[in-house]
Amino acid sequence: MDRKTGIDLGTSRLRVCIKGRGTAADVATAAAFDGEEQLCAYGDAAYRMLGKNPPGKDVVTPLSRGVISNFEDCVELLSAVLTKIGAKGIITRPKTVISVPYGITEVECNAFENVCVAASGGRDLYMLVKQPMAAAIGCGADVLGVRGRLICDIGAGKVQTSVIMYKGIAAAGMERIGGDTADDAIVRYVKDSYNITIGKRTAESIKIAAGSAHRLTERGEVTVCGRNILTGQVVRATLYSSEIREAITPVLDDLTDHIKSVLEKIPPTLSSDVYESGLTLCGGFANLPGLDMFLREKLGMNVNVTKSPELAVIRGTETILGSAGELIEVVSAARDYQ
Ligand SMILES: Nc1ncnc2c1ncn2[C@@H]1O[C@H](COP(=O)(O)OP(=O)(O)OP(=O)(O)O)[C@@H](O)[C@H]1O
Ligand SMILES: [Mg+2]
C-alpha cells in the first residue's frame, strides 16, 4: 500500500493528500484540549467552539499569520489527522512532502518540518517544497518551462506572490495579510459604524456570505448579531455588501501594493511573459467575488482565478508526490531563505 503523503499546514486549514487518493483531509487548523490537556476535539469541531469558551476546554488555533505559533498543539492536531486518514504508523519510511511558506525564517521553516516529523512518528523520508512552487503546479502552470508565470496565493494569514519558471522561483514576496486581516477589518468596521462588537468567526461568515471586492459583484445584505458596546445589550444590524467592501478596501489596497512590489522585482527578460499570461490567483481568499476584476483594474493585466483555489497548494503537492522525474527537483530549492 502506497502511503506517500503531502501536507499543507495553513493558518486556517490543514490539508493532507495521499498519493492516488487526492485530498484525504481538509480540516480547520484548530484543536480543543480538556482539563487534563488531552485533545478532545480537532478540526471543524474545535473551530466551532472557538470564541465560545466552553467550560473546561481550551480551544486553540496553533498557527498565526502563516507560521506555527504553538508547536506542541500543532503536533497533536496533525497527529490526530494523520491517524484518522491512515497515514501514520503503518509503513516504515513512506515519503512525505511538506509545503513550507516562502519568505519565512529558517527557524520558522524548521518548525514546519519538526511538527511533521513529530506528528508522523519520526520515521518518514521528508522533503520540503516552497508553497509558491506547489501552488503554481496546482494551478496547472508549466513549472519546467522557461516562460515566467505569475501566481498569487492569498490564504488566511499570508499572501505569497511569485514568478515561477524552469523549476525555480524567479521573483517572489510574502506579506502577512490575507483573509484574517479582512476579518479584522470587518470587526473594526462594525464596531466603529454601529458600536457593535462581533467575534472574528462572525466577521468571517459575513465576509463569505456578502463580501465582494468590486461594485459589479455586489451581493445581498446580511444581518449581524453582536453586543452594543454602550448598552451591553445584544442587538442586530443590517450590513450591506457595499459596506463590507468599504471595510475590506484597505486590505485589498495592501494586497495590490504587495503584488506591485513583486512585479517591480521581475527581471526585465521575464516581464513580457508575465504581462502576456497575466496573474493567476489561488488560496481561499481568491474565492472573494470580484477580486479578479478589482486586481485587473488596479494592475492593468489579465487576472484569473484557478479552480477550487484553496486547494492549489495541496493539489500541487500531490502532483509532486506522484512524479519521479524532473519535477522532483523543485523540492530541492525549498531551503533557500531570502
Ligand atoms: N468565498 C469566500 N470569500 C472570501 N474569503 C473566503 C471565501 N472562502 C474562503 N475564504 C477565506 O480564505 C481563507 C482561507 O484560505 P486558505 O485555505 O487558502 O488559507 P490557509 O492555507 O489556511 O492559510 P495560509 O496559507 O495563509 O497560512 C480564510 O480567510 C477564509 O475566510
Ligand atoms: Mg495556504
Q: Which ligand has the shortest distance to the CA of 135?
A: 2
Q: Which atom of ligand 1 is nearest to the CA of 63?
A: 27
What DSSP designation does 301 have? S
Ligand 1 site-directed mutation target among 63, 176, 285, most atoms within 8 Å of CB: 285
- Determine the CATH number of domain 5-133+313-335: 3.30.420.40
Q: Would you kindly state where each structural domain of the chain is located, as residue ranges?
A: 5-133+313-335, 142-305
Going by alpha carbons, the residue nearest to atom 29 of ligand 1 is 179
Matching CATH topology for 5-133+313-335 and 142-305?
yes
Cα-Cα end-to-end distance for the chain: 38
How far does residue 17's CA lie from ligand 2's centre (Å)?
14
pLDDT value at position 336?
55
Going by alpha carbons, the residue nearest to atom 21 of ligand 1 is 10
Q: Sign of dihedral through CA atoms 12, 13, 14, 19?
A: negative
Question: pLDDT digits over 277-298, tens only?
Answer: 999 999 999 999 999 999 999 9
Protein fold of 142-305: Nucleotidyltransferase; domain 5 (3.30.420)
How far does residue 308's CA lie from ligand 1's centre (Å)?
11
How far does residue 10's CA lie from ligand 2's centre (Å)?
5
- Output the ligand 1 site: residues, CB below 6 A: 10-13, 66, 155-158, 178-180, 204, 207-208, 211, 283-285, 287-288, 310
Question: pLDDT digits over 167-203, tens only?
Answer: 899 999 999 999 999 999 999 999 999 999 999 999 9
Of the candidates 333, 327, 308, 328, the one whose C-alpha atom is nearest the C-alpha of residue 23 is 308
How far does residue 2's CA lie from ligand 1's centre (Å)?
30
User: Quick one: 208 exposed, middle or buried, by C-beta within 10 A (0-12, 13-18, 19+)?
Assistant: middle
pLDDT value at position 101?
96
pLDDT value at position 324?
75
Range in 59-68, 123-132, 135-144, 227-236 the model is least confident about: 123-132
What rounded mean pLDDT belongs to the chain?
93
